Amino acid sequence: MSRAWFSKLSLEQRLALAALMLGGLALFARTDGGNVVRLDVKELAGIVEREEDHVTPLELADWILARRADYRLIDVRSDTEYAEYHIPTAENVPVGSLPDAALLRNETIVLYSDGGIHAYQAWLLLRAKGYRSVYTLRGGLEQWKEDVLFPVFAENASPDEQARIAKLREVSRFFGGKPRSGDEAPAAAIALELPRVDLGAAVGVVPRQGKKKKEGC
Amino acid sequence: MEMTAPFYKYGLFGDEASLLVAFLIGIGFGFFLERAGFGSARKLVAQFYLTDLAVFKVMFTAIVTAMLGVTYLAWMGLLDLSLVYLVPTHWAPQILGGLVLGVGFVVGGYCPGTSVASLATGRLDGLVYALGIGAGTVGFAFLFPLLRGLYYATPAGPLTLPQLLHLPYGVVVFAVVLMALAGFYGASLIEARASRKEG
Protein backbone atom coordinates (compact mmCIF):
# COMPACT_ATOMS: atom_id res chain seq x y z
CA MET A 1 0.00 0.00 0.00
CA SER A 2 1.03 3.58 -0.49
CA ARG A 3 0.76 4.21 3.21
CA ALA A 4 3.30 1.56 4.08
CA TRP A 5 6.26 3.87 3.58
CA PHE A 6 4.68 6.49 5.82
CA SER A 7 4.15 4.08 8.70
CA LYS A 8 7.82 3.19 8.53
CA LEU A 9 8.84 6.78 9.22
CA SER A 10 9.84 7.82 12.72
CA LEU A 11 7.97 10.62 14.48
CA GLU A 12 10.83 13.01 13.70
CA GLN A 13 10.68 12.14 10.03
CA ARG A 14 6.93 12.62 9.91
CA LEU A 15 7.22 16.02 11.56
CA ALA A 16 10.01 16.96 9.17
CA LEU A 17 7.81 15.93 6.26
CA ALA A 18 4.93 18.02 7.62
CA ALA A 19 7.21 21.05 8.02
CA LEU A 20 8.52 20.56 4.50
CA MET A 21 5.02 20.41 3.05
CA LEU A 22 3.79 23.42 5.00
CA GLY A 23 6.95 25.31 4.04
CA GLY A 24 6.52 24.37 0.39
CA LEU A 25 2.90 25.50 0.38
CA ALA A 26 3.98 28.76 2.04
CA LEU A 27 5.85 29.59 -1.19
CA PHE A 28 2.45 30.63 -2.52
CA ALA A 29 1.36 32.50 0.58
CA ARG A 30 0.16 36.09 0.31
CA THR A 31 0.61 37.58 3.72
CA ASP A 32 -0.18 41.21 2.94
CA GLY A 33 -3.62 40.58 1.51
CA GLY A 34 -2.42 41.54 -1.97
CA ASN A 35 -4.05 44.10 -4.22
CA VAL A 36 -7.12 42.03 -5.00
CA VAL A 37 -9.60 42.42 -2.20
CA ARG A 38 -13.03 41.38 -1.04
CA LEU A 39 -15.36 44.02 0.32
CA ASP A 40 -18.31 43.58 2.61
CA VAL A 41 -20.57 45.81 0.53
CA LYS A 42 -23.45 45.64 2.98
CA GLU A 43 -21.25 46.69 5.88
CA LEU A 44 -19.89 49.64 3.89
CA ALA A 45 -23.36 50.70 2.80
CA GLY A 46 -24.47 50.62 6.42
CA ILE A 47 -21.57 52.80 7.49
CA VAL A 48 -22.39 55.35 4.81
CA GLU A 49 -26.10 55.27 5.61
CA ARG A 50 -25.52 55.79 9.32
CA GLU A 51 -23.10 58.60 8.44
CA GLU A 52 -20.33 56.93 10.42
CA ASP A 53 -17.83 57.63 7.67
CA HIS A 54 -17.04 61.28 8.29
CA VAL A 55 -16.27 64.00 10.77
CA THR A 56 -17.53 67.54 10.30
CA PRO A 57 -15.13 70.49 9.94
CA LEU A 58 -16.12 71.81 13.36
CA GLU A 59 -15.51 68.43 14.99
CA LEU A 60 -12.09 68.29 13.36
CA ALA A 61 -11.34 71.85 14.51
CA ASP A 62 -12.23 70.76 18.04
CA TRP A 63 -9.89 67.78 17.79
CA ILE A 64 -7.04 69.99 16.63
CA LEU A 65 -7.72 72.57 19.34
CA ALA A 66 -7.89 69.82 21.95
CA ARG A 67 -4.42 68.72 20.76
CA ARG A 68 -5.74 65.24 20.16
CA ALA A 69 -2.95 63.00 18.93
CA ASP A 70 -4.83 59.72 18.62
CA TYR A 71 -5.63 60.10 14.93
CA ARG A 72 -3.82 61.06 11.73
CA LEU A 73 -5.09 63.76 9.43
CA ILE A 74 -4.22 62.97 5.82
CA ASP A 75 -4.36 65.44 2.94
CA VAL A 76 -4.83 63.33 -0.20
CA ARG A 77 -4.33 66.22 -2.66
CA SER A 78 -1.13 66.74 -4.64
CA ASP A 79 1.99 67.99 -2.90
CA THR A 80 1.78 71.40 -4.61
CA GLU A 81 -1.75 71.91 -3.37
CA TYR A 82 -0.63 70.74 0.06
CA ALA A 83 2.24 73.23 0.02
CA GLU A 84 -0.20 76.01 -0.86
CA TYR A 85 -2.50 75.37 2.06
CA HIS A 86 -3.32 72.49 4.34
CA ILE A 87 -5.24 72.10 7.56
CA PRO A 88 -2.82 72.36 10.49
CA THR A 89 -1.40 68.98 11.63
CA ALA A 90 -2.26 67.36 8.26
CA GLU A 91 0.21 65.04 6.54
CA ASN A 92 0.34 64.80 2.76
CA VAL A 93 -0.33 61.43 1.11
CA PRO A 94 -1.56 61.95 -2.48
CA VAL A 95 -4.18 59.37 -3.50
CA GLY A 96 -1.75 57.68 -5.88
CA SER A 97 0.68 56.86 -3.10
CA LEU A 98 -1.96 55.59 -0.68
CA PRO A 99 -1.34 51.88 -1.41
CA ASP A 100 2.27 52.25 -0.21
CA ALA A 101 1.70 54.81 2.53
CA ALA A 102 3.06 54.11 5.99
CA LEU A 103 -0.36 54.04 7.60
CA LEU A 104 -1.13 51.37 10.16
CA ARG A 105 -4.39 49.47 10.17
CA ASN A 106 -5.08 50.19 13.83
CA GLU A 107 -4.79 53.96 13.43
CA THR A 108 -7.69 56.36 13.21
CA ILE A 109 -7.32 58.19 9.93
CA VAL A 110 -9.15 61.29 8.73
CA LEU A 111 -8.89 61.99 5.00
CA TYR A 112 -9.67 65.18 3.17
CA SER A 113 -9.45 66.62 -0.32
CA ASP A 114 -10.79 69.79 -1.93
CA GLY A 115 -14.43 68.86 -2.32
CA GLY A 116 -14.45 65.42 -0.84
CA ILE A 117 -14.64 63.08 -3.80
CA HIS A 118 -10.98 62.10 -3.75
CA ALA A 119 -11.17 61.68 -0.01
CA TYR A 120 -14.16 59.34 -0.34
CA GLN A 121 -12.33 57.34 -2.99
CA ALA A 122 -9.33 57.12 -0.69
CA TRP A 123 -11.70 56.07 2.10
CA LEU A 124 -12.89 53.15 0.00
CA LEU A 125 -9.31 52.17 -0.89
CA LEU A 126 -8.28 52.09 2.75
CA ARG A 127 -11.42 50.22 3.83
CA ALA A 128 -10.65 47.71 1.10
CA LYS A 129 -7.15 47.29 2.48
CA GLY A 130 -8.54 46.42 5.88
CA TYR A 131 -8.33 49.77 7.65
CA ARG A 132 -11.06 49.91 10.26
CA SER A 133 -11.35 53.46 11.48
CA VAL A 134 -11.12 55.69 8.45
CA TYR A 135 -13.12 58.89 8.16
CA THR A 136 -13.39 61.73 5.70
CA LEU A 137 -13.79 65.39 6.39
CA ARG A 138 -17.36 66.16 5.40
CA GLY A 139 -17.38 68.55 2.47
CA GLY A 140 -13.60 68.62 2.33
CA LEU A 141 -11.53 71.77 2.35
CA GLU A 142 -14.38 73.76 0.85
CA GLN A 143 -16.57 73.05 3.86
CA TRP A 144 -13.59 73.68 6.14
CA LYS A 145 -13.38 77.19 4.68
CA GLU A 146 -17.17 77.69 5.00
CA ASP A 147 -17.50 76.45 8.56
CA VAL A 148 -14.19 77.06 10.26
CA LEU A 149 -12.12 79.68 8.46
CA PHE A 150 -14.70 82.08 7.08
CA PRO A 151 -17.99 81.34 8.82
CA VAL A 152 -21.02 83.55 8.29
CA PHE A 153 -22.96 84.58 11.36
CA ALA A 154 -26.41 86.07 11.58
CA GLU A 155 -26.40 89.70 12.66
CA ASN A 156 -29.40 89.45 14.96
CA ALA A 157 -28.62 86.35 16.96
CA SER A 158 -30.19 85.48 20.28
CA PRO A 159 -28.03 85.73 23.43
CA ASP A 160 -27.62 81.94 23.46
CA GLU A 161 -26.49 82.03 19.88
CA GLN A 162 -24.12 84.90 20.67
CA ALA A 163 -22.08 82.75 23.05
CA ARG A 164 -21.77 80.02 20.44
CA ILE A 165 -20.83 82.55 17.79
CA ALA A 166 -18.21 84.08 20.03
CA LYS A 167 -16.60 80.67 20.41
CA LEU A 168 -16.74 80.00 16.67
CA ARG A 169 -15.14 83.39 16.01
CA GLU A 170 -12.31 82.38 18.28
CA VAL A 171 -11.92 79.07 16.46
CA SER A 172 -11.90 80.86 13.13
CA ARG A 173 -9.23 83.31 14.31
CA PHE A 174 -7.14 80.48 15.77
CA PHE A 175 -6.94 78.87 12.35
CA GLY A 176 -6.12 82.21 10.77
CA GLY A 177 -9.54 82.76 9.24
CA LYS A 178 -11.95 85.67 9.39
CA PRO A 179 -15.67 85.52 10.13
CA ARG A 180 -17.78 87.13 7.40
CA SER A 181 -21.10 88.86 7.31
CA GLY A 182 -23.71 87.45 4.95
CA ASP A 183 -23.23 89.81 2.01
CA GLU A 184 -19.52 89.27 1.53
CA ALA A 185 -18.00 87.05 -1.11
CA PRO A 186 -18.56 83.30 -0.77
CA ALA A 187 -15.80 81.45 1.01
CA ALA A 188 -14.64 79.62 -2.08
CA ALA A 189 -13.80 82.94 -3.71
CA ILE A 190 -11.29 83.93 -1.05
CA ALA A 191 -9.19 80.92 -1.76
CA LEU A 192 -6.21 83.06 -2.72
CA GLU A 193 -5.85 84.66 0.68
CA LEU A 194 -5.89 81.46 2.62
CA PRO A 195 -4.10 81.81 5.92
CA ARG A 196 -0.72 80.36 6.62
CA VAL A 197 -0.94 79.27 10.20
CA ASP A 198 2.19 78.39 12.02
CA LEU A 199 1.01 76.00 14.65
CA GLY A 200 4.53 74.91 15.45
CA ALA A 201 4.27 76.44 18.86
CA ALA A 202 0.65 75.58 19.42
CA VAL A 203 0.24 72.05 18.12
CA GLY A 204 3.66 70.82 17.10
CA VAL A 205 4.74 70.31 20.67
CA VAL A 206 2.22 67.51 21.05
CA PRO A 207 3.79 64.15 20.26
CA ARG A 208 2.39 62.62 17.11
CA GLN A 209 1.28 59.41 18.81
CA GLY A 210 -0.45 60.42 22.01
CA LYS A 211 -1.47 56.91 22.89
CA LYS A 212 1.51 55.09 21.56
CA LYS A 213 1.41 51.57 22.86
CA LYS A 214 4.41 50.39 24.76
CA GLU A 215 6.01 47.48 23.03
CA GLY A 216 9.19 45.54 22.67
CA CYS A 217 10.80 43.00 24.89
CA MET B 1 -16.74 42.26 14.52
CA GLU B 2 -14.11 40.15 12.86
CA MET B 3 -11.16 39.21 15.01
CA THR B 4 -7.76 40.15 13.76
CA ALA B 5 -4.46 39.78 15.56
CA PRO B 6 -2.36 41.28 17.05
CA PHE B 7 -5.18 41.56 19.60
CA TYR B 8 -3.31 44.12 21.70
CA LYS B 9 -2.77 46.46 18.75
CA TYR B 10 -6.43 46.28 17.87
CA GLY B 11 -7.32 47.22 21.42
CA LEU B 12 -8.89 43.92 22.47
CA PHE B 13 -7.24 44.39 25.83
CA GLY B 14 -5.37 47.26 27.44
CA ASP B 15 -2.01 47.72 29.12
CA GLU B 16 -2.95 46.09 32.43
CA ALA B 17 -4.59 43.06 30.86
CA SER B 18 -1.61 42.67 28.55
CA LEU B 19 0.62 42.27 31.62
CA LEU B 20 -1.60 39.42 32.78
CA VAL B 21 -1.46 37.81 29.34
CA ALA B 22 2.33 38.17 29.32
CA PHE B 23 2.48 36.64 32.80
CA LEU B 24 0.47 33.59 31.75
CA ILE B 25 2.52 33.10 28.57
CA GLY B 26 5.70 33.51 30.62
CA ILE B 27 4.57 30.82 33.08
CA GLY B 28 3.83 28.51 30.15
CA PHE B 29 7.20 29.25 28.57
CA GLY B 30 9.06 28.53 31.80
CA PHE B 31 7.07 25.35 32.40
CA PHE B 32 7.98 23.89 29.03
CA LEU B 33 11.62 25.00 29.31
CA GLU B 34 11.83 23.05 32.55
CA ARG B 35 9.97 20.05 31.11
CA ALA B 36 12.45 19.97 28.22
CA GLY B 37 15.29 19.80 30.75
CA PHE B 38 16.43 23.34 30.04
CA GLY B 39 16.36 24.29 33.70
CA SER B 40 19.68 22.47 34.02
CA ALA B 41 22.93 24.12 32.99
CA ARG B 42 24.43 20.68 32.26
CA LYS B 43 21.83 20.00 29.60
CA LEU B 44 22.23 23.49 28.13
CA VAL B 45 26.01 23.53 27.80
CA ALA B 46 26.05 19.99 26.39
CA GLN B 47 25.32 21.61 23.03
CA PHE B 48 28.62 23.46 23.17
CA TYR B 49 30.47 20.15 23.75
CA LEU B 50 28.47 18.70 20.82
CA THR B 51 27.16 15.84 22.93
CA ASP B 52 23.48 16.86 23.12
CA LEU B 53 22.00 19.30 20.63
CA ALA B 54 18.52 19.36 22.18
CA VAL B 55 18.66 23.14 22.73
CA PHE B 56 19.52 23.79 19.09
CA LYS B 57 16.78 21.43 17.92
CA VAL B 58 14.13 22.80 20.30
CA MET B 59 14.90 26.43 19.43
CA PHE B 60 14.90 25.79 15.69
CA THR B 61 11.68 23.77 16.02
CA ALA B 62 10.11 26.68 17.88
CA ILE B 63 11.23 29.09 15.15
CA VAL B 64 9.83 26.92 12.35
CA THR B 65 6.57 26.23 14.20
CA ALA B 66 5.99 29.90 15.02
CA MET B 67 7.02 31.02 11.54
CA LEU B 68 4.65 28.62 9.80
CA GLY B 69 1.87 29.50 12.23
CA VAL B 70 2.30 33.22 11.66
CA THR B 71 2.54 32.74 7.89
CA TYR B 72 -0.67 30.76 7.68
CA LEU B 73 -2.55 33.05 10.07
CA ALA B 74 -1.53 36.03 7.94
CA TRP B 75 -2.46 34.16 4.76
CA MET B 76 -5.91 33.47 6.18
CA GLY B 77 -6.23 37.15 7.05
CA LEU B 78 -6.34 36.53 10.81
CA LEU B 79 -3.08 38.28 11.56
CA ASP B 80 -1.86 41.63 10.31
CA LEU B 81 1.89 41.20 9.90
CA SER B 82 2.41 44.94 9.39
CA LEU B 83 1.34 45.48 13.01
CA VAL B 84 3.63 42.88 14.54
CA TYR B 85 6.29 44.72 16.47
CA LEU B 86 9.81 44.44 15.07
CA VAL B 87 12.82 45.37 17.15
CA PRO B 88 14.68 47.92 15.00
CA THR B 89 17.94 46.54 13.63
CA HIS B 90 21.23 48.09 14.75
CA TRP B 91 23.94 45.95 13.17
CA ALA B 92 27.03 46.64 15.28
CA PRO B 93 25.53 46.67 18.80
CA GLN B 94 23.31 43.66 18.09
CA ILE B 95 26.15 41.54 16.69
CA LEU B 96 28.30 42.53 19.64
CA GLY B 97 25.45 41.88 22.06
CA GLY B 98 24.87 38.47 20.50
CA LEU B 99 28.51 37.56 21.02
CA VAL B 100 28.39 38.74 24.65
CA LEU B 101 25.25 36.68 25.23
CA GLY B 102 26.87 33.64 23.60
CA VAL B 103 29.99 33.89 25.73
CA GLY B 104 27.80 34.36 28.82
CA PHE B 105 25.81 31.30 27.79
CA VAL B 106 28.95 29.14 27.57
CA VAL B 107 30.46 30.48 30.80
CA GLY B 108 27.29 30.67 32.90
CA GLY B 109 25.43 27.73 31.43
CA TYR B 110 22.17 29.63 30.95
CA CYS B 111 20.48 32.18 28.80
CA PRO B 112 18.18 34.73 30.48
CA GLY B 113 14.96 32.71 30.14
CA THR B 114 16.41 29.40 31.24
CA SER B 115 18.16 30.99 34.22
CA VAL B 116 14.80 32.18 35.55
CA ALA B 117 13.27 28.72 34.95
CA SER B 118 16.25 27.23 36.79
CA LEU B 119 15.87 29.71 39.65
CA ALA B 120 12.20 28.78 39.94
CA THR B 121 13.16 25.15 40.51
CA GLY B 122 15.50 26.21 43.33
CA ARG B 123 18.86 25.80 41.63
CA LEU B 124 21.58 27.98 43.15
CA ASP B 125 23.49 28.51 39.91
CA GLY B 126 20.26 29.81 38.42
CA LEU B 127 20.00 32.31 41.28
CA VAL B 128 23.58 33.48 40.74
CA TYR B 129 22.97 33.85 37.02
CA ALA B 130 19.73 35.80 37.57
CA LEU B 131 21.48 38.11 40.03
CA GLY B 132 24.15 38.60 37.37
CA ILE B 133 21.48 39.63 34.87
CA GLY B 134 20.14 42.15 37.37
CA ALA B 135 23.60 43.53 38.12
CA GLY B 136 24.43 43.70 34.42
CA THR B 137 21.19 45.55 33.67
CA VAL B 138 21.81 48.12 36.40
CA GLY B 139 25.46 48.46 35.35
CA PHE B 140 24.39 49.02 31.75
CA ALA B 141 21.96 51.72 32.86
CA PHE B 142 24.72 53.57 34.73
CA LEU B 143 27.16 53.22 31.85
CA PHE B 144 24.59 54.17 29.23
CA PRO B 145 25.94 57.73 28.74
CA LEU B 146 29.26 56.12 27.69
CA LEU B 147 27.60 53.42 25.59
CA ARG B 148 25.03 55.60 23.88
CA GLY B 149 27.10 55.98 20.71
CA LEU B 150 27.46 52.23 20.29
CA TYR B 151 23.85 51.57 21.31
CA TYR B 152 22.46 53.64 18.44
CA ALA B 153 25.20 52.82 15.92
CA THR B 154 24.52 51.41 12.42
CA PRO B 155 20.72 51.64 12.51
CA ALA B 156 18.79 49.84 9.80
CA GLY B 157 15.24 50.31 11.10
CA PRO B 158 12.73 47.50 11.51
CA LEU B 159 14.08 45.01 9.02
CA THR B 160 12.81 41.60 7.91
CA LEU B 161 14.62 38.90 5.96
CA PRO B 162 12.35 39.25 2.91
CA GLN B 163 13.17 43.00 2.81
CA LEU B 164 16.87 42.44 3.39
CA LEU B 165 17.22 39.67 0.80
CA HIS B 166 14.66 41.11 -1.65
CA LEU B 167 12.91 37.75 -1.73
CA PRO B 168 9.19 37.01 -1.51
CA TYR B 169 7.97 36.18 1.98
CA GLY B 170 7.08 32.58 1.10
CA VAL B 171 10.51 31.88 -0.37
CA VAL B 172 12.19 32.93 2.87
CA VAL B 173 9.78 30.74 4.85
CA PHE B 174 10.57 27.74 2.69
CA ALA B 175 14.31 28.43 2.88
CA VAL B 176 14.20 28.61 6.69
CA VAL B 177 12.33 25.27 6.79
CA LEU B 178 14.99 23.69 4.56
CA MET B 179 17.71 25.22 6.74
CA ALA B 180 16.10 23.79 9.87
CA LEU B 181 15.71 20.32 8.39
CA ALA B 182 19.33 20.34 7.23
CA GLY B 183 20.31 21.54 10.72
CA PHE B 184 18.34 18.73 12.39
CA TYR B 185 19.98 16.16 10.12
CA GLY B 186 23.42 17.58 10.88
CA ALA B 187 22.64 17.61 14.60
CA SER B 188 21.62 13.95 14.53
CA LEU B 189 24.92 13.04 12.83
CA ILE B 190 26.90 14.99 15.45
CA GLU B 191 24.97 13.35 18.30
CA ALA B 192 25.47 9.88 16.83
CA ARG B 193 29.22 10.48 16.63
CA ALA B 194 29.29 11.72 20.23
CA SER B 195 27.46 8.67 21.54
CA ARG B 196 29.82 6.36 19.56
CA LYS B 197 32.80 8.04 21.26
CA GLU B 198 31.27 7.56 24.69
CA GLY B 199 30.29 3.98 23.99
Over its C-alpha atoms, chain B yields an Rg (Å, rounded) of 20
CB spacing of B177 vs A213 below 8 angstroms:
no
Cβ within 8 Å of residue A72, ≥6 positions away: A91, A103, A107, A108, A109, A110
pLDDT in the model for residue A201:
44
Mean pLDDT across chain A: 81
Chain B residue numbers touching A30 (CB-CB < 8 A): 75
A175-179, B47-51, B64-68 — most confident range: B64-68
pLDDT in the model for residue A192:
46
B71 touches chain A (CB under 8 A): yes
CB spacing of B181 vs A20 below 8 angstroms:
yes
Chain A residue numbers touching B170 (CB-CB < 8 A): 26-29
Kindly report the three-state secondary structure assignment for every residue of chain B.
Answer: CCCCECCCCCCCCCHHHHHHHHHHHHHHHHHHHHHCCCCCHHHHHCCCCCCCCHHHHHHHHHHHHHHHHHHHHHHCCCECHHHCCCCCEEHHHHHHHHHHHHHHHHHHCCCHHHHHHHHHCCCHHHHHHHHHHHHHHHHHHHHHHHHHHHHCCCEEECCCHHHHHCCCHHHHHHHHHHHHHHHHHHHHHHHHHHHHHHC
pLDDT tens for each residue of B75-123:
888 888 888 888 899 999 999 999 999 999 999 999 999 999 999 999 9
CB spacing of B178 vs A28 below 8 angstroms:
no
Residue percentage of chain A with pLDDT more than 70: 81
Residue A159 has pLDDT above 60, yes or no: yes
CB spacing of A32 vs B81 below 8 angstroms:
yes
The minimum CA-CA distance between A25 and chain B, rounded to whole Å, is 8
pLDDT band at A185 (very low <50, low <70, confident <90, very high): low
Complete DSSP assignment for chain A: -TTHHHHHS-HHHHHHHHHHHHHHHHTT--SS--S-----HHHHHHHHHTT-SEE-HHHHHHHHHTT--SSEEEE-S-HHHHHH---TT-EE--GGGGGG----TTS-EEEE-SSSHHHHHHHHHHHHTT-SSEEEETTHHHHHIIIIIS-B--SS--HHHHHHHHHHHHHHHHTT---B-TTS--GGGGGGG------TTTTTTS-S-TTPPP---
The minimum CA-CA distance between A125 and chain B, rounded to whole Å, is 17
B140 touches chain A (CB under 8 A): no
CB spacing of B169 vs A106 below 8 angstroms:
no
| Average pLDDT over every residue of A168-180 | 85
CB spacing of A28 vs B176 below 8 angstroms:
no
Give the integer Cα–Cα distance in Å for A206 and A67: 7
pLDDT in the model for residue A193:
53
In this structure, how many other beta carbons lie within 10 angstroms of the beta carbon of residue B194?
16
Domains and CATH numbers, chain A: 41-145 (3.40.250.10), 148-193 (no CATH)
Chain B residue numbers touching A214 (CB-CB < 8 A): 15
Residue environment code for A164-192, b if the CB has 16+ CB neighbours within 10 A, otherwise e:
eeeebeebbebbebebbeeeeeebeebee
| Average pLDDT over every residue of A61-89 | 91
| Average pLDDT over every residue of A189-203 | 54
Chain B residue numbers touching A105 (CB-CB < 8 A): 80, 82-83
Residue A213 has pLDDT above 70, yes or no: no
pLDDT tens for each residue of B125-180:
999 999 999 999 999 999 999 999 999 999 988 888 988 999 999 999 999 999 99
Give the integer Cα–Cα distance in Å for B95 and B97: 5
Residue A212 has pLDDT above 70, yes or no: no
Residue B1 has pLDDT above 50, yes or no: no
Amino acid at B185: Y
CB spacing of A215 vs B85 below 8 angstroms:
yes
Chain B residue numbers touching A26 (CB-CB < 8 A): 68, 71-72, 75, 170, 173-174, 177
B189 touches chain A (CB under 8 A): no
Residue A21 has pLDDT above 50, yes or no: yes
A217 touches chain B (CB under 8 A): yes
**What part of A 11-70 touches B (C-beta under 8 Å)?**
12, 16, 19-20, 22-24, 26-33
Residue B35 has pLDDT above 70, yes or no: yes
Largest CA distance in chain A: 95
The minimum CA-CA distance between A19 and chain B, rounded to whole Å, is 7
The minimum CA-CA distance between B58 and chain A, rounded to whole Å, is 12
pLDDT in the model for residue B14:
82
Give the integer Cα–Cα distance in Å for A194 and A173: 12
Mutate to test the interface with A, among B177, B179, B188, B189 (most CBs of A within 10 A): B177
pTM score, two decimals?
0.72
